[in-house]
C-alpha cells in the first residue's frame, strides 16, 4: 500500500480523505490512524533534520523552512518469509527518492546498505527505526 502525505496546511486530512475516497466508509478509521501516524512521522523527520543541522554546526532551524511543509510517500510493504528465495525477484538495489527515509522493519531480513563498495546486511530491529 502506498499513499501520499502532505504537511502543507491546505492538505490537513489528505491521508484520511484518500482512504475514504478510494476505499470507502469502512476504511475511515484506518485512514484516521494513518493520518495521525503520518503527522507523527513528519514531526519526527523535522526533529531529525534539526539534529543533522546541529551536527553540521549550522543553525538548528536551517532545514525547517525547506522541509516544514514536506511531501512524503508512505509505504506499507509486507514481505513474508520466502520459501524459495532463489526463484524470487525483489526490488533490486535502489536509492530512496527522498531526502530522508524512516523505516520500521519487521523480523524479515533483506535490508542492505552499500558501504565501501559492498552491500552489507542490516539486521532487523523491531524496536527501532532505520534512518537513511
| Grid cell for residue 54 | 546541529
Q: At what angle do helices 14-23 and 28-55 cross, to 10 degrees?
A: 150
Range of the domain at 118: 87-131
d(CA 32, CA 42): 15
Indicate whether 82 belongs to any domain: no
Q: In this structure, are residues 109 and 121 in contact, taking their beta carbons and an 8 Å threshold?
A: yes
In this structure, the answer to whether residues 124 and 67 fall within a common structural domain is no
Res 91: pLDDT: 66
Res 58: pLDDT: 95
* Residue 75, SS3 per DSSP: strand
Res 92: pLDDT: 66
Res 114: pLDDT: 84
Domain count, the chain: 2
pLDDT < 70: residue spans in the chain: 89-94
Half-sphere exposure of 123 (CA within 13 A, CB side): 2
Res 33: pLDDT: 95
Res 93: pLDDT: 66
Amino acid at each position: 500500500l502506498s499513499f501520499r502525505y502532505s504537511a502543507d496546511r491546505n492538505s490537513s486530512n489528505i491521508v484520511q480523505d484518500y482512504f475514504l475516497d478510494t476505499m470507502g466508509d469502512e476504511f475511515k478509521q484506518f485512514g484516521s490512524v494513518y493520518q495521525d501516524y503520518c503527522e507523527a512521522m513528519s514531526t519526527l523527520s523535522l526533529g531529525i533534520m534539526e539534529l543533522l543541522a546541529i551536527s553540521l554546526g549550522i543553525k538548528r532551524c536551517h532545514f525547517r523552512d525547506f522541509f516544514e511543509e514536506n511531501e512524503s510517500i508512505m509505504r506499507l510493504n509486507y514481505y513474508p518469509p520466502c520459501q524459495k528465495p532463489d526463484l524470487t525477484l525483489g526490488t533490486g538495489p535502489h536509492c530512496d527518492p527522498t531526502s530522508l527515509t524512516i523505516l520500521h522493519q519487521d523480523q524479515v531480513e533483506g535490508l542492505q546498505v552499500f558501504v565501501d563498495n559492498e552491500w552489507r546486511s542490516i539486521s532487523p530491529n523491531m524496536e527501532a527505526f532505520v534512518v537513511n
